[in-house]
Amino acid sequence: MGGEAIKRVKVNAGQTRKEEGGEVMALFGKGKITENIPDNSGLVNVDIKITRKDRQERKVRITVVEQSTGKTVFKTDFSDKTSQSDYGTYVQAEEIVKLYCQRQDYIIADMFENMTDKPTVQTVEKRSR
């Protein structure tokens, strides 16, 4: 929908007609317009990018964008030399984001990262005797 609200015009008791911008409810021939805008207040999108500088050092960029306004509410860059893997660095960045969102009363809606080799847990399909 692209962030636009949809109008539904109630023509008769059971009939509706969709239009953009809100909802028109007809009662005895008189219409009233009400907005159907979803409440995105407090929802944020998180973007975590990790780039390797060398074997021991990783550069991390965290960006938190509020969904309702589209403004960047938190942005930081730091360098990590203590983690031994990209996943360890990602976990540290994720903890920073969760702590910030908890203290500022935000809810994480989507989390984007540039890691393709995150470890996953799978069950084995074959049985062994």
Average pLDDT value for the chain: 76
Residue 110: φ, ψ to 5°: -135, 145
User: Do 16 and 30 meet the contact criterion of CB atoms below 8 Å apart?
Assistant: no
- Render pLDDT for 87-122 as a digit per residue (tens, 0 to 9): 889 999 999 999 999 999 999 998 888 876 666 666
Whether the pLDDT of residue 25 is over 80: the answer is no
Strand pairing partners for 50? 60
User: Do 30 and 44 meet the contact criterion of CB atoms below 8 Å apart?
Assistant: no
CATH number at residue 73: 3.10.20
Q: Which domain holds residue 29?
A: 1-38
On whether both 51 and 29 belong to a single domain, the answer is: no
The CA distance from 48 to 113, in Å, is: 5
Whether the pLDDT of residue 9 is over 70: the answer is no
Q: Is residue 121 part of a domain?
A: no
On whether both 68 and 109 belong to a single domain, the answer is: yes
> Is residue 71 helix, strand or coil?
coil
- Number of separate domains in the chain: 2
